[in-house]
């Protein structure tokens, strides 16, 4: 029987056109996370051991050569995975581009991957402004998020910033605070606002959103696009 520690992958979504801009990609769901966001519906990925090994991922990718051109490393939080550098190297050696989905808590890992040319695109979750960051994420990684943002801006790498909105947790004022921070830090991309998706279970036992969210109250310092609103 294989050791659970050697099976860090919860699952592989074999094909997506949506997650990695301009790429046909698969999504690798790595287990474990260092946050506990109230709205997180990936409890199984965050809290459980995985089902697949890195070797199984590489076998899968070898069969997809020519069919896919990108790999999305998601989770959970993929940057806490001990062997993230090795996995990125192996994926790149097979000729795929790599996108990393991150909560921004590990800027030193991001920095290292960028400097080694091991990643091609990043989606950075900016969870909340400082005053409510702990309440929403059950973590103390706000400053790390800012460091990740700053190093991504400086790196010149293609990346996007996004925030999930449950309107009972984040109102228009909170989003405008994030917009101000992005603007002041010279973020030039689109800011994606993702509407909370209510599924049966989430980590914070949240119910459906009860408060309205008025897009017209958002300031227009940077371009904003809405997903699932
Ligand atoms: S939503 Fe939060 S808790 Fe869930 S995987 Fe992402 S960072 Fe972790």
Q: What is the DSSP letter of 228?
A: -
Between CA 94 and CA 98, with CA 96 as vertex, the angle to 5 degrees is 125
**Strand ranges (E), 78-204:** 97-102, 121-125, 158-165, 191-195
| Average pLDDT over every residue of 111-121 | 98
Q: Is 136 in the pocket of ligand 1 (CB under 6 A)?
A: no
Q: Band of the pLDDT at 2, cuts 50, 70, 90?
A: very low
Residue closest to 31 by CA, chosen among 15, 11, 54: 11
| Residue-range domain boundaries for the chain | 4-227
Contact 163, 125 (CB under 8 A): yes
Q: Is 160 in the pocket of ligand 1 (CB under 6 A)?
A: no
**What is the CA angle 229-138-39, rounded to 5?**
25
Nearest protein Cα to ligand 1, atom 4: 40
Confidence (pLDDT) at 5: 65
- pTM exceeds 0.85, yes or no: yes
For residue 48, the model assigns a pLDDT of: 86
Q: What is the pLDDT of residues 62-78, one digit of tens each?
A: 999 999 999 999 999 99
- 75 pocket-lining for ligand 1 (C-beta < 6 Å): yes
What is the atom index within ligand 1 of the atom nearest the CA of 39?
A: 1
Please tell me the predicted confidence (pLDDT) of residue 4. Answer: 53
174 lines ligand 1 (CB under 6 A): no
Q: Percent of the chain beyond pLDDT 90? A: 96
Three-class SS of residue 107?
A: helix
Tell me if 25 CB under 6 Å of ligand 1: no
Residue 1: pLDDT over 60: no
In angstroms, rounded to a whole number, what is the distance separating the alpha carbons of residues 113 and 21?
19
Residue with token string 């290292």: 112
204 Cα: distance to centroid of ligand 1 (angstroms): 11
Q: Which homologous superfamily does the CATH classification assign to the domain defined by 4-227? A: Aldolase class I (3.20.20.70)
Instruction: Evaluate: CB of 101 within 6 angstroms of ligand 1.
Output: no
Residue 228, phi-psi category: left (phi > 0), alpha (psi -120 to 50), beta (remainder): left
DSSP state of 72: E
Residue nearest to atom 2 of ligand 1 (CA): 37
Q: How confident is the model at residue 34 (pLDDT cuts 50, 70, 90)?
A: very high
Mutating to test ligand 1, I would choose from 10, 39, 40 the residue with most ligand atoms within 8 A of its C-beta, which is 40
Q: Which atom of ligand 1 is nearest to the CA of 33?
A: 8
Cα of 50 to ligand 1 centre, how many Å? 16
Hunting for tokens 């800012």 — which residue is that? 146
- At residue 212's C-alpha, the angle toward residues 142 and 123, to 5°, is 35
Name the residue of 11, 32, 34, 37 whose CB sits within 8 Å of the most ligand 1 atoms, as the mutation to test its pocket: 37
Residue 154: strand, helix, or coil: helix
């Amino acid at each position: 029987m294989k050791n659970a520690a050697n099976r860090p992958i919860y699952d592989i979504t074999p094909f997506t056109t949506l997650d990695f801009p301009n790429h046909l990609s698969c999504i690798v769901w790595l287990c474990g996370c260092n946050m506990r966001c109230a709205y997180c519906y990936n409890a199984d990925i965050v809290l459980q051991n995985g089902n697949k090994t890195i070797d199984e991922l590489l076998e899968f990718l070898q069969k997809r050569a020519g069919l896919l051109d990108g790999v999305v490393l998601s989770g959970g939080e993929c940057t806490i995975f001990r062997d993230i550098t090795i996995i990125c190297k192996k994926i790149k050696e097979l000729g795929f581009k790599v996108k990393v989905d991150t909560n921004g808590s590990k800027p030193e890992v991001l920095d290292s991957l960028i400097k080694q040319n091991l990643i091609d695109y990043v989606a950075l979750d900016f969870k909340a402004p400082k005053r409510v960051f702990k309440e929403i994420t059950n973590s103390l990684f706000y400053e790390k998020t800012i460091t990740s943002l700053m190093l991504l801006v400086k790196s010149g790498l293609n990346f996007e910033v996004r925030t999930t909105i449950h309107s009972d947790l984040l109102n228009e004022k909170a989003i405008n605070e994030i917009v101000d921070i992005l603007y002041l830090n010279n973020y030039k991309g689109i800011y994606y606002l993702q509407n909370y998706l209510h599924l049966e279970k989430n980590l914070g036992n949240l119910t459906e959103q009860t408060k309205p969210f008025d897009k017209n109250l958002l300031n227009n310092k940077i371009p904003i696009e809405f997903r699932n609103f």
